[in-house]
Structure 1
Amino acid sequence: MSEIATLTKQVSTQLQIKEQLVDQVIALLDEGNTVPFIARYRKEQTGGLDEVQINDIQEKWTYAQNVQKRKEEVVRLIDEQGKLTDELKQQIESATQLQKVEDLYRPYKQKRRTRATVAKEKGLEPLAKRVYDQHVSDFPGEAAAYINEEKEVHSVDDVRTGVQDIIAEWISDEPHYRERIRKETYNKGTLQSEGKDTEADEKGVFEMYYEYEEPIRAIVSHRILALNRGEKEGILKVNVQPPKEWVLNYIAKELRLTKRPETKEWMMEVIEDSYKRLIQPSIEREIRSGLTEKAEEQAIEVFSKNLKNLLLQPPLKGKTILGVDPAYRTGCKLAIIDETGKAHDIQVIYPTAPRNDVKGAEKTILELLNKYPIELVAIGNGTASRETEQFIADSIKNNGLDLAYMIVNEAGASVYSASPLAREEFPDLKVEERSAISIARRVQDPLAELVKIDPKSIGVGQYQHDVAQKRLNESLTFVVETAVNQVGVNVNTASASLLQYVSGLSKAVANNIIKAREENGKFTARTELKKIPRLGAKTYEQSIGFLRILEGKQPLDRTPIHPESYEVTKELLSMYGLTPSDLGTPKVEDALHGMDVHTTAENLGIGAPTLQDILNALKQPGRDPRDDLPKPLLKKDVLSLEDLTQGMELQGTVRNVVDFGAFVDIGVKQDGLVHISKLSNSFVKHPLDVVAVGDVVTVWVEQVDTKKGRIALTMI
């Protein structure tokens, strides 16, 4: 079997995806195709694998290739030392994990000067080998021959110490021992923590970990990250408690110490020294590193799923919105956004402390309502949000207005408002005024607005600042790209921030598209994009299906149908007496209804998945997949923490999902927590299996702690 075939089989086994499909995906990726393009337009080759599965293949394939390169390097390095045996080579070549390769290489790795290397320089290695193989019955007698004043070996005790150091290193380098000890430490050991500088923990965030112990195999991801943070901040001391007695007995048994009872006692000392000084510290590092890596992957996965759900929140299109960025001292900033997202009016009101100018603020609101056809008020959920919400609710009620409002997660709005992009968009506005615009636009089109913000600043997930930032950025970028390409982009209205996430487009090309649009006016056909600087044939192929031209010369340009399928699409329409200009009319739906997809696909010479996608696009040419999702929760009145009573039924919006539950906005100052055990009557493996960010859910109040501002909710 060739090296490529071996790696393909390995990836196939790990992901439980057919080898043939893995092969096809790798070939498509090697040709320079992007993940979104492959998922959308190469379904026949991939068997309909989605973006996540294709991305998983890409990641596993890259890892397998890196392991293969390392194996080849390790084989070469050991061979150069003249120590490569057929058995060792076979062990290295059969390894699938980098850790296994490094364990096998460890005995041959060039080390810095150690106690063992010093002892070897003194000529003690031959005696150490005889002791290790238990061929020595009279150690003092044999040791006497190794006493050498020039080499500073002055006594039998010096010989013994040197021999022990050599054997201790041999034991620690034995890959079989390390693998077994690592496994048993994971299965039988515990992770312990104790308070180190508890005074620094002013809010008692890490209080539960001041005296804490849990089996390593059972500890959950969010606790691992919490312990890591507490340790990093100097508040906690964390360590692994291994099954020490088991380890020592295991090594003794492997060395068959009963063979030479006369050396057993001091060989046990060697084993203990080897374990305590050499094996235990590195095994602890490896286990904690593995736990952290696993916990980070879990945190990144949760963050990514939350972000995807947030990005794909249904837009409230075609509405004029009043955006409100709440504040105390500096006042609430107001921004009017018309149905196209254009800002028309910026005002500041002071309905909250310290000014408490409710009357003046209400007057400003009424003036804006009279001047503009405002259909919705969007209030940011930051500082002074609830007080501002109360003011808006009172204004609606007191003036008999038929107006709804909603609370908008404003996380990251301030980051965007102070960014070069925001300054470029609104050079004459203050930071807070830009923030109000961003809050309103998040309602009109969450995806288009949120792509302008660093995903880490969007405020979903947990411990995002404690995980590997490179891996987090890669995962979140993939999520944004997937969301953007699933929805599609109107090339005549999209910002450069949105365009750069389109399959195949770089930031430079996105800016070139904007520049061409500003200089020449709206694009009227997809083919015009071929003239954009740096947008070559491959980039055009990868991106064009995700770019829409809604009012162009070619009706198919407003659909997700790729231009490579235009001819077959026209042939299909012609078979039913239709033309592309009939798109969006009832007769298309009527004519294509009940079609035998497989037979028609065969007649047209295309795959059934491609034909099905073409049919969907023809029946609903302007369909936005987000429109199928439940709309955001709109409100006209407000609750306070004191209004809540046990058993009260409420509707709320899921703001964040973490490993231990979901935080739900029920309209009071503090989000309530639905613990994982309260999400469903049946067993819940992870909260994301039940709820997602943006879901509107029915909850019941279980407990309210007004002092701590904590609300316990249940969905049962």
Structure 2
Amino acid sequence: MNEQLIKNLSTELKIKPEYISNVLSMLADKSTVPFIARYRKEQTGGLDETEIKAIEDEYRYLENLEKRKEEVMRLIDEQGMLTNDLKQDILKQTELARVEDLYRPFRQKRKTRATEAVRKGLKPLFEVMLKQDVSEGDLETEAESYITEEVTSVEDALNGANDIYAEHISDDAQYRKVILREIKNSSLIVSSKKKNAEDEQNVFEMYYDYSEAVKRIPPHRTLAMNRGEKLNVLTLKFEHNIDRISGYLSSKVIKENSKISYRLNMVIEDSLKRLILPSLEREVRNDMTEVGEAHAVNIFEENLKSLLLQPPLKNHMILGVDPAFRTGCKLAVINPSGTFVDKNVIYPHMPVNKKKQAEKIMLDIIKKHNITLVAIGNGTASRETEEFISELIKNNNLDLPFIIVNEAGASVYSASEVAREEFPDFQVEERSAVSIARRVQDPLSELVKIDPKSIGVGQYQHDVNQKNLSEALDFVVETVVNQVGVDVNTASYTLLEHVAGLSPQISKNIVAFREENKGINKRSDLKKVPRLGPKTFEQCVGFLRIIDGKEPLDQTEIHPEQYKNTYKLLDTIGASIKDLGTDEIKEKLEKLDQGAFAEKEGIGLPTLEDMVKSLIAPLRDIRDQYDTPLLKSDVLEMKDLKSGMKLSGTVRNVTDFGAFVDVGVGQDGLVHISQLSNRFVKHPLDVVSSGDIVEVTVMDVDVHKKRISLTMKAEKK
């Protein structure tokens, strides 16, 4: 490891060098991010998964930067032009783009106007111009000696020399650095509608005649304008303070007593318009897009994390309903453990319209399976199905709540290989009904089966680098799965493969092993699973739970490497393993001098604190701190909403400009960022997350445009 890079990283991330070094060593030793975050807190100072990932990513960037510096210095040195000053200038750069700027004058050029002029033998004429001690007339006389078959006139010769000079100015790293700073600080991005562009719904109307300072454009507007440009609706261009930029270059390029200042001003103008500005504009646009994409990915990450952490609705017999008109509403019953029990189909809507028969089938299923919750997908025919079920409940005096489930991605799952493996004899819609029910019962276990990009909680997700998006979302899924933990005896292989250290193949091997042995009774049995070696066991075992197994500690977050110390702890406080999770053990542990015990047994205090938490609450679930979903017993329609009406709703998606809230009318309402709180809100994520239950007041309803404006501001007294 490069110690200097570690020091640089320490300064940038404000993390002690020793912790960074420890993290990098463990990562090099094939330890996973979740394992390091959970079970190696002493070595990292308690860094979380995001901080550990940042160390890994930033160190890789700095390593690549150093490799490029070495390569650039080697290439310049091979040309015999690497001075000590240039070397030091390259070494001190912290951005790859600035290293490339320094290399630009020495890079093997593709065919340009300047390289063609050099090929024609005009470089000496440029060097005469560079001295600036000849008059325009003398320069023209000098140019006569360069006339050849290719250079047919004095004007040809001078134009070629001008081209070499323009590229010479463009290649100067210091000039580029100053102009880049000027663009970022003072230039505008201007957007306008293309002539005859098609934008039927006026999606980009805001940008038809729009300008904003580069330094002030928020990430979501960058991506919106990019999309408009990509769809051939918008034209984007920069507006610079050309006089200031030209003035700066003139002061640097033109000598005080220059006799060809008029010509050089033309060269500067050409260098700016043809070479410098287009290049730097691309760099600025790329930087803005990179920032916009990173921000959009972060919004997606936060929304996805909140969605995955929604608490499961336990102990319910759930009837899942995938609504449709012509093909009927597919029904699927699952029991409290998520096992499929029964299925059917009803046709309560047009064009089939067998409403009476549908009511009978529904009542029979509800009674036969003691249904305690109905989960309705929010796709086509959702509103009509909701009304049908609400009416059924009222007319039959049933004590049966229902819930509307966001079914984004359910069709993707239903047609997937995973779904076909689970239910090979089911139709796609029947699999979807099972998935809708399971999304309520255990959102995490079901949602991990779906490509995160299909879950529908992103912003501009199709406008960002898809590889970066996939990697970021996979990291979120992995982090959440390991924070929650997995019951090794009930988890699907699709859930297991997100556990630290487990590959898809080993996950399938675990499922096959438990089926063959009628369950896994203790964590140590996992060592017998094919291809699950010692390193994999170390990484995964702490995240795999065994409920009611032979070893009581196997149901906790405590890693087997600490079992010996855990039993010493129980002996010290005079408790038994049978007391796990009782008030008695809690009282005894609260009296423990943790510092003294940790020092005596050589245990890190963070590890001991985690052990204590697990002994007090062995089955604790971080999802318990989040709001449980709203259950309904009646149905509202958009036309029922009135200004001033107060409602409870579920946050479905958070964007840069506000939060979309489901208030149960089939159309999400928008709480604009300005309406989220009485105090100033920098970003909606500072106030709400996907899945939150919030109290809102209706501000305005436009039934025709299907727009609902909501507020979360408290009324002024």
TM superposition score category, shorter chain reference = over 0.9
Q: Does residue 275 of the first structure (1) align with residue 275 of the second (2)?
A: no
Q: Which moved more, 1:344-353 or 1:547-556?
A: 344-353
Q: Secondary structure at the match of 2:530?
A: coil
Given that 2:143 and 2:154 are in contact with CA atoms closer than 8 Å, whether structure 1 keeps it comes out as: no
Matched ranges for 1:192-591 at <5 A? 192-196=190-194, 199-260=197-258, 262-591=259-588
Name the structure 1 match of 2:599. 602
1:257 Cα shift?
4.5
1:156 Cα shift?
2.3
Name the structure 1 match of 2:113. 115
1:382 Cα shift?
1.4
**CA distance in structure 2 between the partners assigned to 1:547 and 1:101 by the alignment:** 47
Given that 2:125 and 2:142 are in contact with CA atoms closer than 8 Å, whether structure 1 keeps it comes out as: no
Name the structure 1 match of 2:55. 57
Q: Does residue 651 of the first structure (1) align with residue 648 of the second (2)?
A: yes
Identity over aligned residues, as a percent? 57
Given that 1:117 and 1:166 are in contact with CA atoms closer than 8 Å, whether structure 2 keeps it comes out as: yes
Cα offsets for 1:257-302 (capped at 9, x unmatched) = 5431x31112111111111111111111111111110000000000
Match of 1:191 among 173, 189, 192: 189
Q: Secondary structure at the match of 1:259?
A: coil
Q: Runs in 1 of length 4+ with deviation above 6 angstroms?
A: none
Given that 1:124 and 1:146 are in contact with CA atoms closer than 8 Å, whether structure 2 keeps it comes out as: no
**CA distance in structure 1 between the partners assigned to 2:139 and 2:668 by the alignment:** 77
Name the structure 2 match of 1:625. 622
**CA distance in structure 2 between the partners assigned to 1:687 and 1:321 by the alignment:** 33
Cα offsets for 1:74-115 (capped at 9, x unmatched) = 111111111111011111111111111111111111111211
Q: Secondary structure at the match of 2:260?
A: helix
Q: Secondary structure at the match of 1:32?
A: coil
Given that 1:321 and 1:336 are in contact with CA atoms closer than 8 Å, whether structure 2 keeps it comes out as: yes
1:578 Cα shift?
2.6
Q: Which moved more, 1:344-353 or 1:32-41?
A: 344-353
Q: AA paired with 2:39?
A: Y
Cα gap change, 1:402/1:197 in structure 2, threshold over 3 Å: closer, same or farther? farther
Cα gap change, 1:173/1:199 in structure 2, threshold over 3 Å: closer, same or farther? closer
Q: AA paired with 1:157?
A: E
Given that 1:143 and 1:159 are in contact with CA atoms closer than 8 Å, whether structure 2 keeps it comes out as: no
**CA distance in structure 2 between the partners assigned to 1:164 and 1:658 by the alignment:** 51
TM-score by length of 1: 0.97
Name the structure 1 match of 2:25. 27
Name the structure 2 match of 1:46. 44
Q: AA paired with 1:524?
A: N
Cα offsets for 1:336-365 (capped at 9, x unmatched) = 111111111111122233334333222221
Name the structure 1 match of 2:85. 87
Cα gap change, 1:294/1:198 in structure 2, threshold over 3 Å: closer, same or farther? farther
Given that 2:675 and 2:712 are in contact with CA atoms closer than 8 Å, whether structure 1 keeps it comes out as: yes
Name the structure 2 match of 1:101. 99
1:240 Cα shift?
2.1
1:141 Cα shift?
4.7
**CA distance in structure 1 between the partners assigned to 2:133 and 2:2 by the alignment:** 47
**CA distance in structure 1 between the partners assigned to 2:345 and 2:394 by the alignment:** 21
**CA distance in structure 2 between the partners assigned to 1:255 and 1:139 by the alignment:** 21
**CA distance in structure 2 between the partners assigned to 1:532 and 1:345 by the alignment:** 33
**CA distance in structure 1 between the partners assigned to 2:634 and 2:196 by the alignment:** 43
Cα offsets for 1:532-580 (capped at 9, x unmatched) = 2221111111111001111211111111100110111111111123333
TM-score by length of 2: 0.97
Q: Which moved more, 1:315-324 or 1:653-662?
A: 315-324
Given that 1:146 and 1:153 are in contact with CA atoms closer than 8 Å, whether structure 2 keeps it comes out as: no
Q: Secondary structure at the match of 1:68?
A: helix
- Figure out how many residues of one structure are paired with residues of the other and give that number: 713
**CA distance in structure 2 between the partners assigned to 1:670 and 1:659 by the alignment:** 20
Match of 1:155 among 142, 153, 156: 153
Given that 2:626 and 2:692 are in contact with CA atoms closer than 8 Å, whether structure 1 keeps it comes out as: no
**CA distance in structure 1 between the partners assigned to 2:486 and 2:710 by the alignment:** 39
Q: AA paired with 1:57?
A: I
Cα gap change, 1:151/1:571 in structure 2, threshold over 3 Å: closer, same or farther? farther
**CA distance in structure 2 between the partners assigned to 1:477 and 1:95 by the alignment:** 33
Match of 1:12 among 10, 13, 16: 10
1:629 Cα shift?
1.9
**CA distance in structure 1 between the partners assigned to 2:361 and 2:560 by the alignment:** 51
**CA distance in structure 2 between the partners assigned to 1:328 and 1:617 by the alignment:** 50
Q: AA paired with 2:615?
A: L
Q: AA paired with 2:346?
A: I
Q: AA paired with 2:276?
A: I
Gaps of 5+ in 1: none
Q: AA paired with 1:620?
A: A
Q: Which moved more, 1:400-409 or 1:294-303?
A: 400-409
1:137 Cα shift?
3.2
Matched ranges for 1:643-682 at <5 A? 643-682=640-679
**CA distance in structure 2 between the partners assigned to 1:14 and 1:303 by the alignment:** 25
Q: Does residue 703 of the first structure (1) align with residue 700 of the second (2)?
A: yes
Gaps of 5+ in 2: none
RMSD: 1.5
**CA distance in structure 1 between the partners assigned to 2:657 and 2:554 by the alignment:** 45
Q: AA paired with 1:289?
A: N
Cα offsets for 1:582-604 (capped at 9, x unmatched) = 32333322321232221221122
Q: Which moved more, 1:390-399 or 1:575-584?
A: 575-584
Cα gap change, 1:400/1:197 in structure 2, threshold over 3 Å: closer, same or farther? farther
**CA distance in structure 1 between the partners assigned to 2:354 and 2:127 by the alignment:** 88
1:18 Cα shift?
2.1
1:409 Cα shift?
1.1
**CA distance in structure 1 between the partners assigned to 2:244 and 2:278 by the alignment:** 17
Q: Which moved more, 1:648-657 or 1:395-404?
A: 395-404
Q: Secondary structure at the match of 2:203?
A: coil
**CA distance in structure 2 between the partners assigned to 1:370 and 1:393 by the alignment:** 16
Cα gap change, 1:257/1:710 in structure 2, threshold over 3 Å: closer, same or farther? farther
Given that 2:375 and 2:437 are in contact with CA atoms closer than 8 Å, whether structure 1 keeps it comes out as: yes
Match of 1:616 among 599, 613, 634: 613
Cα offsets for 1:685-713 (capped at 9, x unmatched) = 11000000000000011111111000011
1:313 Cα shift?
0.3
**CA distance in structure 1 between the partners assigned to 2:527 and 2:196 by the alignment:** 63
Match of 1:171 among 169, 173, 181: 169
